[in-house]
Amino acid sequence: MKYILDFDRTIFDMDALYRAIEQTNPGVPLGTVASLDGIDMSRFFFADVMTFLQTHNQQDIEIVSSCHGLTKRWSDRYQAEKIKRSGIDSFVAAVHVVSDSKIEIIKTIMKNNPEAIFVDDHPEHVASVSAAIPELQVFFLNRKNENQVVSDVPGITSLADLDDMIAV
């Protein structure tokens, strides 16, 4: 089974990063590489993420991240640098940063891994990927457990829930 995970807000706590940027680099604009300077990015993974990474084969996990954020558009360079500084690449087979839609890179990953799961926290990404790749198992990760749902897509609140849902 191939696990394709989004980065921001799926495995990485962006709100904690924003607080750290505010404390460490006040006045430096969000979305710039300079805003990340002096910050230990490895401490912003959600608690369930390390357990998931340690209990699944590294070769079975890939990250697919797009360049969207509070500014509605991070640069590819900023997103790639943020992910690199997090150290996630030592836990996964590959990291893909895309400027826009995740659909084409997910299709490419699935060519060699037809049994795959995609997890994302962004309802629009979840809905578009689910519609474009119906053979893919797609999960909406709602960490805040708000009353938000994506039609015809199972919802989870942590990666631990994912394992429970697959085991059923």
For 76-128, write each residue's pLDDT tens digit.
889 999 999 999 999 999 999 998 889 999 999 999 999 999 999 999 999 99
* Percent above pLDDT 90 for the chain: 79
Radius of gyration of the chain (CA): 15
pLDDT of 165 reads 84
The rounded distance, in Å, linking the Cα atoms of 10 and 143 is 8
Distance (Å, rounded) from C-alpha 46 to C-alpha 123?
A: 19
Sheet with 61-66, edge to edge strand ranges: 94-98, 61-66, 2-5, 116-120, 137-141, 155-156
Hey, what domains does the chain have and what are their CATH numbers? 2-12+45-167 (3.40.50.1000)
